[in-house]
Structure 1
Amino acid sequence: MIQNRSLARRGAAVVAAGAAALVLAACGGDGDSDSSAGHGGHKATASASASSSASASASQGQRNAADVAFAQGMIPHHRQAVEMAGLASGRAQSAEVSKLAADIRKAQDPEIKTLSGWLTSWGEDVPAKGAMDHSAHDMGGMMTDGEMTELENASGKAFDTAFMKLMIKHHEGAVEMAKTEQADGAYGPATRMAGEIITSQSAEIEQMNKLLGKD
């Protein structure tokens, strides 16, 4: 009888120990599962964050050869337009031409600074001021030395007419360069500037044609 009671107690102890082990195992399993899920969640969040950052960097920071060519070509192109516009002071007769020249300088001076800043940040050469080689003259709409001298020597109505005719050609070259950038460029701010150039200079071409009586 005593022996039977002892065996029963031992059996109960074994069962209790087994149940406790199962409970601990279950708790441990839940803990590991939570920990694993937690780490997995952190990894997923970090991965998503890195991906988002990379996408933002790609949209603003990536540039290609077309972007570099656009910036390096548009800087001397804009500089010449600003130089031409500067000649209007004291030479232009028409108030419309004087205002147009002022608007050109106001728009293109800041763009020269922006384009130069992009090239510097990309580690690319910024065209030197006054560096006009033959390839620059071949760029769309660029004035020759002779045309610039002719414009500089003109005054009154003759200046107004020459200025508008030459500036129309100059603007048409800039619009073509901007269209090339829109088609081939990868740097978002550059393609946006190209769009602004197309819009503003196309409007100025239309205005000058009207002033010349070419409606």
Structure 2
Amino acid sequence: MIWRGTVGSAALLVAVLLAGGCAGSAPAPASVPGTPTGVPPAVAGRPSGPAGTPGPSGAPSVSGLSGPFNGTDIAWLQLAVALHERVLPVLELVPTRSTDPAVRRLAAEIREGHRADIDRFRALLDRSGAPRTNPHAGHDMPGMVTDADLATLGAATGVEFHRLFGRHLRAHLEQSVRVADTEQRSGAEPTTTVLAGAVVRTGRAYLARLDQLAPRADSRS
């Protein structure tokens, strides 16, 4: 089974990614032998074709064939699901806490984009043969809003809400870009690395827009 050979390298990658901002130094794990789930042996190893091309939103489609996944691919996809899922409740608070059109528009765009990305991440995980259970569910890691943070944010209003919202969103976007950049450089499966590139580009664009909202929606003090 493909997943069995990736457990150690995936766990190692996540540990490196989350240790002291050292994401950029994560080594590429050895490639995982075998054919992804659902791909006939006769076509294994061929270029991904349509699956590796960007869709309308700039993220790749996952409707075509994919190549072999390595430990970095699996680790990134699982971590990306956890990161995106954890920030959704933050984004969903905005319509009831902010009247700023720019803040509401940014939150809505990120929310819809993240939901679509989660579907793409999960489709690739299914294709890889990885378990559906996410090992990061419930974990508090860099870039993730804790339950306590969410409770504080939910009770905040006005300037305080915008300050906390901006802080948490920035931390999420920066970590998402950091780990996606590592996947781009160390991943093996073509569709997955293209998707990581889309996450990097959109994440940086969102950070630039967040900068423009300061100090209304961001403060590091």
Structure 2 length normalisation: TM-score? 0.66
Provide closer, same or farther for how the CA distance between residues 178 and 153 of structure 1 changes in structure 2, counting only shifts above 3 A: same
Alpha-carbon separation, structure 2, partners of 1:53 and 1:93: 52
Whether the 8 Å CA contact 1:81–1:104 is kept in 2: the answer is no
Whether the 8 Å CA contact 1:94–1:157 is kept in 2: the answer is no
**Structure 2 counterpart SS, 1:186:** coil
**Structure 2 counterpart SS, 1:157:** helix
Matches within 5 A, 1:160-175: 160-175=162-177
Match of 2:66 in 1: 60
Match of 1:207 in 2: 209
191, 194, 219: which is aligned to 1:192? 194
Alpha-carbon separation, structure 2, partners of 1:67 and 1:104: 23
The CA RMSD over aligned residues, in Å, is 2.6
Provide closer, same or farther for how the CA distance between residues 129 and 113 of structure 1 changes in structure 2, counting only shifts above 3 A: farther
Structure 2, unmatched stretches of 5+, are 1-40, 50-64
88, 92, 112: which is aligned to 1:86? 92
Greater relative contact order (Cα < 8 A, sep 6+): 2
Provide closer, same or farther for how the CA distance between residues 53 and 132 of structure 1 changes in structure 2, counting only shifts above 3 A: closer
Q: Offset of 1:187 from its aligned partner?
A: 1.0
1:122-158 deviation digits (Å, cap 9, x = unpaired): 221234599313xxx12x3112222111111112232
Larger Rg: 1
Provide closer, same or farther for how the CA distance between residues 171 and 53 of structure 1 changes in structure 2, counting only shifts above 3 A: closer
Whether the 8 Å CA contact 2:87–2:169 is kept in 1: the answer is yes
Percent identity reads 26
Q: Letter of the aligned partner of 2:114 in structure 1?
A: Q
Match of 1:150 in 2: 152
Alpha-carbon separation, structure 1, partners of 2:206 and 2:130: 31
Q: Letter of the aligned partner of 2:138 in structure 1?
A: M
Provide closer, same or farther for how the CA distance between residues 163 and 101 of structure 1 changes in structure 2, counting only shifts above 3 A: same
Alpha-carbon separation, structure 2, partners of 1:152 and 1:209: 23
Q: Offset of 1:165 from its aligned partner?
A: 1.5
Structure 1 length normalisation: TM-score? 0.67
Whether the 8 Å CA contact 2:72–2:186 is kept in 1: the answer is yes
Alpha-carbon separation, structure 1, partners of 2:45 and 2:68: 11
Paired positions, count: 161
Q: Which moved more, 1:145-154 or 1:121-130?
A: 121-130
Whether the 8 Å CA contact 1:141–1:170 is kept in 2: the answer is yes
Match of 1:183 in 2: 185
Q: Do residues 108 (structure 1) and 132 (structure 2) align?
A: no
Match of 1:69 in 2: 75
Alpha-carbon separation, structure 2, partners of 1:141 and 1:89: 22
Whether the 8 Å CA contact 1:75–1:127 is kept in 2: the answer is no
Q: Offset of 1:209 from its aligned partner?
A: 1.8
Match of 2:15 in 1: none
Alpha-carbon separation, structure 1, partners of 2:46 and 2:114: 31
Structure 1, unmatched stretches of 5+, are 1-49
Q: Offset of 1:101 from its aligned partner?
A: 0.7
Alpha-carbon separation, structure 2, partners of 1:65 and 1:109: 24
1:23-58 deviation digits (Å, cap 9, x = unpaired): xxxxxxxxxxxxxxxxxxxxxxxxxxx999743369
Whether the 8 Å CA contact 2:78–2:136 is kept in 1: the answer is no
